[in-house]
Amino acid sequence: AAFAVQGTQAGSSQYSVEQSSPKQGTTSTASISTGSAPGLAAGTTGGGNIAPVYPASLDDLKNYLKDSQPRVIVLTKTFDFRGSEGTKTETGCRPKSNRDCLAKNNGYKGQDVILQSGGMTNTGGCVDGTQVKITYDLAGSKNPLVVSSNKTLRGLGTSGVIKGKGLWLNGNNIIIQNIHITQLNPHLIWGGDAIYIQGLNSGKTAMERIWIDHVKISNLGRQMVATGTASVKSMTISNSEFDGRTQYSATCDGNHYWTFLFLGTQTQVTLVNNYVHNTSG
């Protein structure tokens, strides 16, 4: 993976938009200006100048993001997916780091682990683990919002918040702008990634032209931004805040450990003017 890093701190975690919104669930004839992507994602247009849509329900948002049409999707409220798909209680892993944290009793909490296909032996984060019962929200851990090609997802003012579910980018030419993603099972490793860039063709082909701008990410179980081995050839992350303050910390210090995971031999990312804080890994 290759990286171009510019700047140190975003001036604001939200991008102010001066526009009144029509009724939720409708389409507006007014266009939304997203500006121009700096760095490697230059030329990314997302849904372009198409008339924006304003989702009213959780299903509206899911369907707009994953369909095959170019779209500009504007969020004017909080979309809270927590509890919408139920919870699951099962055997998980309590790693040595959490057992040590409990023994310290220093006011911070550790993280247990949702077991993956490797079980207790080969699940990431389950180091010297013992079995423990865990409960987690399925919306955050198992079923991310799929985002297909030629989409702009944009929050209006400070209103665009997604709680309890992350984004799974599965297309080219995507803009994610001015939203806050939060509350993805923060007590559990593998509780949910905020933004995952899978790659095309079930993760076999590299993606291109991804712009993440004026986004805030906080309180989640695993990675804030992750790419798959298929790679993303041209991605810019700009003017965004990655807030690692948490009650649950793999390092028992109130700082989030899992932040960025950039895989793929063709992955190239421009990082410009972002604020990354209270992270430990």
The domains of the chain, with CATH numbers, are 2-10+45-85+138-277 (2.160.20.10), 88-134 (no CATH)
pLDDT at 231 over 90: yes
Q: Output the pTM of the full model.
A: 0.90
pLDDT tens by residue, 177-196? 999 999 999 999 999 999 99
pLDDT for the residue 10:
40
In this structure, the dihedral spanned by the alpha carbons of residues 37, 38, 44 and 50, taken in order and rounded to 10 degrees, is 20
pLDDT for the residue 25:
61
pLDDT for the residue 4:
62
Kindly indicate the confidence band of residue 14, based on its pLDDT and cuts at 50, 70 and 90. very low
Kindly indicate the confidence band of residue 5, based on its pLDDT and cuts at 50, 70 and 90. low
How far apart CA 80 and CA 177 sit, in angstroms, is 18
pLDDT tens by residue, 204-224? 999 999 999 999 999 999 999
Kindly indicate the confidence band of residue 20, based on its pLDDT and cuts at 50, 70 and 90. very low
| 221: number of Cβ within 10 Å | 31
pLDDT at 175 over 90: yes
For 240, phi and psi rounded to 5 degrees? -115, 155
Ranges of H-type helices in the chain: 58-66, 96-104, 119-122, 138-141, 200-203
How far apart CA 199 and CA 230 sit, in angstroms, is 5
How far apart CA 221 and CA 281 sit, in angstroms, is 13
DSSP secondary structure string, 215-237?
-EEEEESS-SEEE-TT-BSSEEE
pLDDT at 18 over 70: no
For 59, phi and psi rounded to 5 degrees? -65, -40
pLDDT for the residue 24:
58
pLDDT at 167 over 60: yes
pLDDT for the residue 135:
99
For 262, the enclosing helix (H) or strand (E) is strand 260-262
Mean pLDDT of 127-149: 97
pLDDT averaged over every residue in the chain: 91
Specify the range with the lowest mean pLDDT, choosing from 31-35, 91-95, 265-269.
31-35
